[in-house]
Amino acid sequence: MIQRTLVLLKPDAVQRGHMGEIISRFEKVGLKMVAMKLVWADKEFAKRHYAEHVGKKFYPGLEALITLGPVLAMAVEGIDAIETVRKLVGPTEPKSAPPGTIRGDFAHVSYGYADAKGISIKNLIHASANEADAKKELALWFNDKEMHSYKTVHDVHVLE
């Protein structure tokens, strides 16, 4: 029930100065950051992270975006964290992401616009899609020593 998931604040989120606000959303619902670091990925690392998308039409733009500058990589822990984080993040396309979601509140770009320009959808954030992806992605971005187990007030006041 308690899961860990990988979250990346993409270079657009970092460079627009939204790291703090986005982290706050996770903290507010009681999710726990158990690892965090800034990483400037190169093309080879981007291909490992986005292996499922290599070869797709939008991949060159996606690789350009994810290697544009450092990303803030986080391991986030909580009850059904994979689904809970994806709920807070919202759907891939900011234009159709509802208000209240991170992608809906911080962007409005559409598939049509990004594809016409030949660029990636700038939607601020990546979050693992399922348990298998979370396991693989956490191992790619973090080693065991970078992941921490500790208690927060939520453990004491909400989970017990």
Which positions are catalytic?
Answer: 126
Euclidean distance between CA atoms 12 and 145, whole angstroms = 28
| The binder of ligand IDP chosen from 19, 33, 64, 129 (CB under 6 A) | 129
Amino acid at 112: G
CB atoms within 10 A of CB 68: 17
85 neighbors 76 (Cβ within 8 angstroms): yes
**Site for ligand IDP contains 111 (CB under 6 A):** yes
| The binder of ligand IDP chosen from 14, 62, 72, 107 (CB under 6 A) | 62
Between residues 136 and 154, which has the closer beta carbon with respect to Mg ion?
Answer: 136
Q: Which residue carries 């899609």 as its tokens?
A: 129
Euclidean distance between CA atoms 149 and 12, whole angstroms = 29
Q: Stretches 12-20, 37-45, 119-127, 149-157: which one binds ligand IDP (CB under 6 A)?
A: 119-127
Between residues 8 and 14, which has the closer beta carbon with respect to Mg ion?
Answer: 8
**Site for ligand IDP contains 126 (CB under 6 A):** yes
Euclidean distance between CA atoms 118 and 113, whole angstroms = 9
* CB closest to ligand IDP, residue no: 92
70 closest CA partner among 94, 45, 88: 45
Q: Supply 52's token pair.
A: 């499922």
Which partner in Mg ion, ligand IDP, none is near 115 (CB below 5 to 8 A by kind)? ligand IDP
Between residues 29 and 129, which has the closer beta carbon with respect to Mg ion?
Answer: 129
**Site for ligand IDP contains 33 (CB under 6 A):** no
Burial classification of residue 138, based on how many CB atoms lie within 10 Å of its CB (0-12 exposed, 13-18 middle, 19 or more buried): buried
Between residues 34 and 114, which has the closer beta carbon with respect to ligand IDP?
Answer: 114
Contacts to ligand IDP by CB under 6 A: 53, 58, 61-62, 92, 111, 114-115, 120-121, 123, 126, 129
